[in-house]
Structure 1
């Protein structure tokens, strides 16, 4: 007579029962984790962004991620304050936004974030609007991978000003109005390089983005009880001018793909990696590779695309 599963378990040793219990628990936890990931990435509804305010301010809106995020905001009916350094590009993207939604209201602020930041101009532009969302998107990196000593003082300061000084000062300028209203969202576009153990040959870029990640976490803790949602988004590779050596692929998102995912995450958590393939890549790397292997691989990959110069040849 065959024993039932329950009867078979009764005759097992305590160690076997413990092993079976641990295995079943692990399998259940993994199954629930998969269900949670599927819900978060594909099924969770997006927030009503208008609850933060009818206007969004976005820096770097004329190309890449910034432009596509502006398009997504326009599709959702939000009015926009566009902050960029090139008036011709601002006018061009404004015309494209009106084609997406003719009802959208637009303001442009000409400002070079790599130089002295004219905060008063930006403050004046938003003083009479229901400003609810700030997207610190503008970013700058060295065009080619180089050793730190080759970067040059001028390029170093421009990267620091655009990636670190500008978002800090713009946030400081616009946050008081959010506090006065008791609502708002601040989205800082960071970098997937800060989710890796190291990112050689882009030391200043990755360093400034690391600051943005920690800055965002601190602000989230400080202001979440006062109705202000602060979030740092850390995309991996997106096919923009900043990553011109990469073309779109499974793990390299188009700016449109990323922007659509980015808006879905606003209001959820202080840190996120919105595009699902980027999250998958990070999971696979973190699960199967050690830190030393990741450091070795990152160095080799970036060094292989590094353009050799005279200084390299002396090393």
Structure 2
């Protein structure tokens, strides 16, 4: 009489049983990860952002991701405080938003994040005094004009990279946060970068990547500090998006337009402390993490060297 599968399994050595158990657990974990990925990317409902407050503040709203965020927030019915350095562009964006969403109130604050930041932040504080600012989008930031070695970064660019990406995000958060604490609700979104999180290194963009790594750690710490105060802090980590800063003109499946990214990003606000809202980016993230760091480093270095060469050629033509 043939023995049953259970008897055969019991007759196996202990190490085989342990290996089968671990394999089963790993498979279950993998399946759970896939199911969760599907849920958070396609099925999980977006939060009602108006529950955080009736106003949203966006830095860097005159172009790129910041501008797309401003339109998406207005679409959700939030009034806007737009903070940027160019008064004419702020006026143009405000006019365009009002033309599309007539009931939205908009206030603008002119702040040059590479200039006198203390004075600019003071003016932000004066404008938001008494406003129910429930959502903060810290989007303002700069990168290199093109890839370059660290010793090629001039003093002005070095100062701006740190002041705008690090100090700007920190100071704006500092002036908005007390109101959220008082009301016991709020959502803070800091825009990070795949250059700091997804890939092991970003050669020839070292200061930019380091600044964005600060933004990620800053966000995570605030998430833990203020979670019990009703404030959700999040670092969003996009990879390439079709923006002027990224020097990408056309969108594609893996490179969304600014509107495409912002639409995806809105669904993630208030959830995980770190996320990659545009789902094809998460596939690229998984691929990057599956490869040896040395392979990714070598690919990234060669890629950035090509960008550097193009940038130097453009600079040479301008000087001629």
In structure 1, the partner of 2:139 is: 137
Give the paired residue count: 309
Once the two structures are superposed, what CA deviation does each residue of 1:93-112 show, in whole Å capped at 9, x if it has no partner?
11221233211111111111
Structure 1 gap ranges (5+): 311-315
Q: Name the SS for the 1:24 alignment partner.
A: helix
In structure 2, the partner of 1:181 is: 183
1:234 aligns with 2:237: yes
- Distance, in Å, in 2 between the alignment partners of 1:245 and 1:235 is 14
In structure 1, the partner of 2:98 is: 98
Pairwise CA distance, 1:26: 2.5
Contact 2:54 2:134 in 1 (8 A): yes
Contact 1:148 1:201 in 2 (8 A): yes
Contact 2:242 2:250 in 1 (8 A): yes
Once the two structures are superposed, the pairs formed by residues 136-155 of structure 1 within 5 Å of their partners are: 136-155=138-157
Q: 2:213 aligns with which of 190, 210, 215?
A: 210
- Distance, in Å, in 2 between the alignment partners of 1:279 and 1:2 is 49
- Distance, in Å, in 2 between the alignment partners of 1:171 and 1:155 is 23
Contact 2:190 2:215 in 1 (8 A): yes
- Distance, in Å, in 1 between the alignment partners of 2:145 and 2:286 is 28
In structure 1, the partner of 2:123 is: 121
Pairwise CA distance, 1:253: 1.6
Pairwise CA distance, 1:166: 1.0
Pairwise CA distance, 1:28: 2.2
Contact 1:197 1:294 in 2 (8 A): yes
Q: 1:219 aligns with which of 219, 222, 232?
A: 222
Q: CA RMSD in A?
A: 1.9
In structure 1, the partner of 2:316 is: none
Q: Name the SS for the 1:241 alignment partner.
A: coil
- Distance, in Å, in 1 between the alignment partners of 2:50 and 2:248 is 37
Pairwise CA distance, 1:130: 1.0
> So what's the TM-score if we normalise by structure 2?
0.91
In structure 2, the partner of 1:299 is: 301
- Distance, in Å, in 2 between the alignment partners of 1:267 and 1:257 is 19
Pairwise CA distance, 1:19: 3.9
Q: Which moved more, 1:213-222 or 1:23-32?
A: 23-32
Once the two structures are superposed, the pairs formed by residues 162-177 of structure 1 within 5 Å of their partners are: 162-177=164-179
Pairwise CA distance, 1:25: 2.8
- Distance, in Å, in 2 between the alignment partners of 1:131 and 1:21 is 51
> So what's the TM-score if we normalise by structure 1?
0.92
- Distance, in Å, in 1 between the alignment partners of 2:266 and 2:260 is 11
- Distance, in Å, in 2 between the alignment partners of 1:214 and 1:11 is 51
1:273 aligns with 2:276: yes
Pairwise CA distance, 1:27: 2.2
Change in CA separation of 1:2 and 1:75 when aligned onto 2, cut-off 3 Å: farther
Change in CA separation of 1:14 and 1:207 when aligned onto 2, cut-off 3 Å: closer
